[in-house]
Structure 1
Amino acid sequence: MDPAHSDGVGAHRMPVATMAWITDPHFDHAKLETWREWADEVIGHHPTALVLTGDISEGDDVSYQLRCMAETFDRPIYFVLGNHDFYGKSIGGTRRQIIDLARDVPQLHYLTDCGPVMLAKDAALIGDDGWGDATQGDYENTTVRSNDFELIDDFRTSSRDTWREILQREGRQSGERLSSKLASLPKSVRHVLIATHVPPFRESCWYEGKTTDENWAPFFVCGGVAEALRVAAEANPDRIHTVLCGHTHHDGDAEILPNLIVHTGYSRYGTLDIESLIELSGDGFFVPRVVEAME
């Protein structure tokens, strides 16, 4: 993956009024009528673009659903992938397939493979998949048995002893790609929106109104992305970093630093929601909650 393949900083520029944020839709669990009603609802809000923070579907259905979205919504769709999107395949194979798809369909922009998207002179969008990378919590003694280990080829075809190494590799590489994108932002950028799937910090990993414990943290927090964000925020105190993520299916907001805010989105299998209609103004990104479930 080339973090800035053909786009480059500033090559992607679009006027933004409102962006619809969608997370963890799991389209494979939703009825067709639910999908149609949800699509009509999204279109009715007239967003300039869509931002999708992973768990789109599973297997080959991911590409199918992205194509359906591109045909339905006549506007840019910026997205990252979640762990479910790799089910039935390898991590690298899935990413290559989605990169090819996004480069073939003009509306689709896979942020893991894109450089910064300039939304305004002082505002940009970047993103990366992220991964529950076993850097937080008690991996050695956890009782959690993730389906990822059975349904993603990288784990299924390798020894259990290597799983932690794979998790940490994915988190580290996500962090490195984000660090590169953050470092490439022009000095004029005062507001950056970061899309990822896995909550970067334990403080942003929500479940039923509480943050994660030692048992679940290894699979629900991405320490590699957290490190990249913290370093960038501390090095650029005048730039506001607004993070969008999902994965836990429970919502919450966390202020990590005065200029680093993480919004975690809600999801429920079988329903489709609009998590937020994000507004961009001279004051930066405003992320109100708009949870309107279609069942």
Structure 2
Amino acid sequence: MDFILVRRPAPRAQRLDACQSPSPAKDASARPTPTTLAWITDPHFDHAKLETWRDWAEELLSHQPDGLIMTGDLSEGDDVSYQLQCLAETFARPIYFVLGNHDFYGKTIGETRRRMIELCRDSDHLHYLTDTGPISLAENCVLVGDDGWGDATQGDYAGSIVRLNDFALIEDFRAADPSSWQAMLQQEGRQSAERLRQKLNSLPESVKHVLIATHVPPFREACWYEGHTTNDDWAPFFVCGAVGDVLMETAKANTDRMHTVLCGHTHHDGDAELLPNLVVHTGYSRYGTLDIESLIQVTTAGFTVPRTKTAP
């Protein structure tokens, strides 16, 4: 089969501010209602060979999904835009995505998000969920999302021996004094949580099922590594506690609505039921390979999230 590759865009010189509030959702009425959504997380396309990408795309197309959901860490730097353009040209169907920490490498957080917003405005297929309002998937089912961030609210930040490459490779942190890093992480978490809160609070009572895409697990119980959940060293960087607080609050206030969360970041898979109406699915990834985490079935009865492969 043929795959369409587009020319890698030239870097932009302009440095832009962080996005503040989500813009209105693109009109979903003009496209068919998805019934199957392929979920992909942490593909790190920059680590995959071209032949691996082609095989993965061919397999994905063979399933004929109505849309794609991607929960972050697509690539790094300018390659993020390039890969999204390749995906849009190859699959020609809605691609809903959030960004992960790797996607901001080599840039500021604000600059990267602004570039994604501009890219989506020029594409009928790309939808950056952080900048998008609720999207209707079925009569009573919607999709919302936000990047999220390891926000240093869980675990022992001060005593942790963990220091991610984020601090050296994301311009905001690289240019800041290390003493301010914890406050910066917490601010990113709060902003993600507030954007999600606005979207969830805007849902009418008729919505009974909401699918929430984010990159960072919002609860320690959903932060998996080799079959176990995180410890105090890793939790500050691998859990977005502020988003978890909003999800817990919203689920408790809307007991007749099911909240299904998709996330990645840890590269290890697992499922966590926080409440009868709040479930978190964390996806698997391995550098150099490309997988389909799930082919999500969307009906008026809600979302079914079967795992397509078992992690080794």
Instruction: Choose the corresponding residue for 1:166, options 162, 165, 184.
Output: 184
Residue type at the aligned position of 1:36? R
Instruction: Choose the corresponding residue for 1:19, options 37, 47, 52.
Output: 37
> 1:120, CA displacement in angstroms?
1.4
Instruction: Choose the corresponding residue for 1:123, options 131, 141, 161.
Output: 141
1:291 matches 2:309: yes
How far apart are the structure 2 equivalents of 1:291 and 1:224?
Answer: 31
Residue 283 (structure 2) aligns with: 265
User: Which runs of structure 2 are paired with 1:1-295 in the superposition (5 Å)?
Assistant: 1=19, 3-7=21-25, 14-291=32-309
TM-score normalised by structure 1 residue count: 0.96
Q: Return closer, same or farther for 1:7/1:160 CA change in 2, 3 Å cut-off.
A: same
Q: 5+ unaligned residues in a row in structure 2: which ranges?
A: 1-18
Residue type at the aligned position of 1:37? D
> 1:282, CA displacement in angstroms?
3.0
Secondary structure at 1:136 match in 2: coil
Contact kept in structure 2, 1:205 and 1:212, CA below 8 Å = yes
Q: 5+ unaligned residues in a row in structure 1: which ranges?
A: none
Secondary structure at 1:241 match in 2: strand
Residue type at the aligned position of 1:117? I
Contact kept in structure 1, 2:213 and 2:261, CA below 8 Å = yes
> 1:7, CA displacement in angstroms?
2.2
Contact kept in structure 2, 1:53 and 1:196, CA below 8 Å = yes
Contact kept in structure 2, 1:82 and 1:129, CA below 8 Å = yes
Count of equivalent residues: 293
Secondary structure at 1:142 match in 2: coil
Contact kept in structure 1, 2:71 and 2:100, CA below 8 Å = yes
TM-score normalised by structure 2 residue count: 0.91
How far apart are the structure 2 equivalents of 1:37 and 1:9?
Answer: 32
Residue 5 (structure 2) aligns with: none
How far apart are the structure 2 equivalents of 1:40 and 1:122?
Answer: 32
> 1:281, CA displacement in angstroms?
2.0
Residue type at the aligned position of 2:160? T
Q: Once superposed, what is the RMSD of the aligned Cα atoms?
A: 1.5
Secondary structure at 1:228 match in 2: helix
Deviation string 1:10-69 (CA, Å, 9 cap, x unpaired) is 768741211000000000000000000100000000000000000000000000000000
Contact kept in structure 2, 1:9 and 1:115, CA below 8 Å = no
Q: Return closer, same or farther for 1:86/1:179 CA change in 2, 3 Å cut-off.
A: same
How far apart are the structure 2 equivalents of 1:193 and 1:139?
Answer: 30
Query: Identity of paired residues, percent?
Result: 67
How far apart are the structure 2 equivalents of 1:30 and 1:166?
Answer: 31
Contact kept in structure 2, 1:18 and 1:278, CA below 8 Å = yes
Q: Return closer, same or farther for 1:185/1:51 CA change in 2, 3 Å cut-off.
A: same
> 1:8, CA displacement in angstroms?
6.8
Deviation string 1:83-118 (CA, Å, 9 cap, x unpaired) is 000000000010001110011111000000000001
